[in-house]
Homo-oligomer: A and B are copies of this chain.
Amino acid sequence: MTVATKSLLSNCADCPIRHRAVCARCEADELAQLEEIKYYRSFEAGQTIVWSNDRMDFVASVVSGVATLTQTMEDGRTQMVGLLLPSDFVGRPGRKGAAYDIVATTDLIMCCFRKKPFEKMMIDTPHISHRLLEMTLDELDAAREWMLVLGRKTAREKIASLLNIVARRQPTFSPHGAVVFDLPLTREAMADYLGLTLETVSRQMSALRKAGVISLQGNRHVTVPDMARLMEAAGDDSDGGHLI
């Protein structure tokens, strides 16, 4: 399995992405260590980065683009179990292999760290390891919230829940309080995340559009005039706040 969550690493000037800070105490020498073991990789849309059960000798942070974690049964049924957006972390410190397929759904740049030295650094600097626990707990929260979506929500609610999550991760507010964002997934990928068929996803998107809850510019750009209505459609009882 792969941890994928809010950023792990400190801001580093030459890194094209703003890694959120590990914690206030981050020291220069830690960063220096990180610099030494760091490298970048880029992938094309559709490319599989790691196959399930393959050896995986790095951990990484998404710089730009979108990747997914998916599980596939022998008969081809697939379920997406994680969505990796910029600043998300991916990797299983302490594990040799990947538990899921990792696939780039758009062109993708990742900032990778060789696993062995990264693990060594974890041991040397406890608060990185502590931060990693925090992140993994967040991931577990997200996975369990998704279990409710998969197990108990209707198709309409599932779609709305997904739009909510994506919107919250890349908010671009248009003039009048509407929310505009990119939907970086095909209908099929959405279906795989939601445990639906792509036809049902398409129908429900159309239904939300006809109901005026969302409007679409092309297939990938979404405008939500009133977030509250979308969250209502999602059956969402979360206040958006976080228990800490």
A binding-site residues for B, Cβ under 8 Å: 1, 3, 53, 69, 71, 73-75, 77-79, 81-82, 92-100, 123, 126, 129-130, 132-134, 136-137, 139-141, 143-148, 150-153, 194-195, 235, 237, 243-244
In the docked arrangement, what's the CA distance between A235 and B71, Å? Answer: 13
Cβ-defined contact, B148 with A71, below 8 A: yes
Cβ-defined contact, B146 with A147, below 8 A: yes
Cβ-defined contact, A147 with B143, below 8 A: yes
Complex copy number for this chain: 2
Cβ-defined contact, B3 with A71, below 8 A: no
Cβ-defined contact, A99 with B141, below 8 A: yes
- Tell me whether chain A's interface is mostly helix, strand or loop, or mixed: mixed
Using CB atoms, name the residue of chain B closest to A78: B152
Using CB atoms, name the residue of chain B closest to A241: B53
Cβ-defined contact, B147 with A1, below 8 A: no
19 pairs of residues in contact across A and B, judged by CB atoms under 8 Å? A3-B140, A71-B144, A73-B148, A73-B237, A74-B235, A77-B153, A78-B152, A81-B144, A81-B148, A82-B144, A94-B133, A96-B243, A96-B244, A129-B129, A129-B133, A136-B137, A150-B151, A150-B195, A152-B195
In the docked arrangement, what's the CA distance between A140 and B135, Å? Answer: 11
- Which residue from B73, B98, B146 sits with its C-beta under 8 Å from A235? B73
- Which residue from B74, B81, B152 sits with its C-beta under 8 Å from A79? B152
Cβ-defined contact, A100 with B144, below 8 A: yes
